[in-house]
Amino acid sequence: CSRKKTSTRTPPNKRREISSLRSKNISTAQTTASNLTTSSIRSSLPSQQKITKKTKLDIASTSSKSDSNVPLDGYSIIQNQMLFAFVCKTNCEVCGSRWNGKMNINKREGLFLILSFQCSTCQNIITIETSPKVVASDRRDINVRSQIGGHLCGIRHAGLVKLMGAMNLPSPIQDETYSKWDRNLLIMVKSFTEKSMKKAVAETVAAQNGTELMVSGDGFWQTRGFQSRHGAAALISCNTTPKVLDIEICSALSIKKSNPAKYDNIIRSHQCEKNYDKSSGTMESAAILIMFKRSVPKYGVYYTKYVGDGDSKTFPVLSKIVPYPGKEIKKIEDLNHFSKRMKRALETVKRQHGRKKLSDGKTIGGKNRLSVHNILRLQMTFASTIRKSKHDLDLLFKGSWAIFWH
C-alpha cells in the first residue's frame, strides 16, 4: 500500500500575514539599532557624561541607606493640600486612631518652614522642618541654594520674589538679609572658585605633559556694545573637556561719578572696585594680559599657545608686552571663528541689498540664491575646506575660491 503525502503548503493569505510580520520585525529591528546608535553617540558627549555621572552619584549616595532611587538630600515640591491629605491617611502615634486634625505653620524663614500637625483626638502635636541647617551656620540649606540660583540665573532677589509668587511658594528671605548674606556668600564662592581653577590647572598640566600650556581666552561684558562699565575675561584649557583656569574682572565704574552725594557719606568705609580707566573695548585684552602675567606666581605654568578669535585684539597686546621674558607665545587660530565671520559677512551683504533687484532682475535671496540655507551651507563648506587644507596654503586658496564658483 502506498501512503499519501501530507501537503504542508501554507495558504496564500497566511503567507501574506507572515511576510508582513517579518517586514515589521525587520523595520523594528532597524529602528532599534538606529536608536541605539544615536543614544550611544549622545552618551559619549561630555555634557551627557557629566549628567549621567551626577545622577549615578546621587543614587549611589542614597542606595546604601534605602532601596529608593529618590535622592534623600534633594527637594520635592508638594502642594499643601496633597500633604494634608496624605497625613490624614496615617494613624496618630499616641492614640493610634486615624489622624484628623490641623496643619499649621509655626515658623517661616524665607522658603524654610516648620510645619506642625495636631491630632484632634488626643491633641498630640508633631513638627517637621522642611530644610536642614547649613553646617556651622544658622542658615537653612534651601535659602542658600535659592540665593545661589538667583545669581546663576541673573535674577537676584527681585526675580526670586516673582518666581516664588508665580509658583505659589513662600517668599524668599527679606532683601536686607539677602544683601547681608551676599557678602558672606561671595567669600565662599571665591574660595571655591580658586580651588576649582587650581584643580583644573593641575589636570591641564597632566593632560598636556608639561607646564607650557595651550589656552583659549575670551571676554564678555555686562551689557552689549562697548559702553559697558563692567567687563571680564576668562582663560580656558584646550583639553577634551575644557575647564576655566583663570578669570579677571575689569570695572570702570566709580561711585564717586555715579552718585557724588552718596560718595561723600560713605567715603570713610567704601572700598572702590574701580580698577580700569580705559575704554570698554580694551577690557578683554587687558584682563587676559593680567592673567598671563600672574600664571607663574599663581600656578607655576606658562601659557605659550593662545587660541583666540579672528577679530580679537588680545594677541597683538601679548606680542607687544611680553609676559614671559625669553618665551614666545604662539597664536593658534580658531577655525570656527573664520567660518562664523564668513557667515556674518554674507548676512550683511544680504541685508544691505534687501529686496533690490540685481542685474538679472532678481533679488539676492530666494531659491538657489543667497538664502539662509545656502549661507549655512557656505559656512560649513568653508570650515570643512580649512580643516582639510590647513597645512597647505595653495590648496586652501583654491578650495576656498572653488566654493564661490560652484
Digit-by-digit pLDDT tens for the chain (406 residues) are 444 444 445 555 555 554 554 444 434 433 333 343 434 444 444 444 544 444 444 444 444 455 788 898 999 999 999 999 999 999 999 999 999 999 999 999 999 999 999 999 999 999 999 999 999 889 999 999 999 999 999 899 999 999 999 999 999 999 999 999 998 899 989 999 999 999 999 999 999 999 999 999 988 887 776 677 888 899 999 988 899 999 998 887 665 555 666 656 665 565 666 767 777 778 888 999 999 999 999 999 999 999 877 656 888 899 888 899 889 999 887 777 778 888 888 889 888 888 888 888 888 888 888 888 888 888 888 888 888 887 888 888 888 888 877 6
25: Cα separation from own chain's centroid: 41
Overall residue count recorded for the chain in this entry: 406
Q: What is the pLDDT of residue 256?
A: 59
Positions of CATH 3.30.70 in the chain: 211-333
CATH number for the segment(s) 211-333: 3.30.70
Contact at 8 Å (CB) between 346 and 356? no
Q: Give Cβ neighbours of residue 157 (< 8 Å, ≥ 6 apart).
A: 150, 172, 175, 178, 179
| DSSP string for residues in 43-70 | HTSHHHHHHHHHHHHHHHHHHTT-S--S
Q: What is the pLDDT of residue 215?
A: 94
Phi, psi of 295 (to 5 degrees): -65, -40
| 380 CA to centre of own chain | 25
**First and final CA of the chain: distance in angstroms?**
82
Q: How far apart are CA 305 and CA 215, in angstroms?
A: 6
What is the per-residue pLDDT for 194? 95
Identify the sign of the CA torsion 146, 147, 151, 152.
negative
Contact 90, 117 (CB under 8 A): no
Q: What angle do CA 31, 36, 37 make, to 5 degrees?
A: 100
Q: Provide the total of helices (H) and of strands (E) in the chain, helices listed first.
A: 14, 8
Host H or E run for residue 403: helix 393-405
**pLDDT for the residue numbered 40:** 46
The whole model's pTM is what? 0.62
Q: What is the pLDDT of residue 7?
A: 45
pLDDT of residue 226: 65
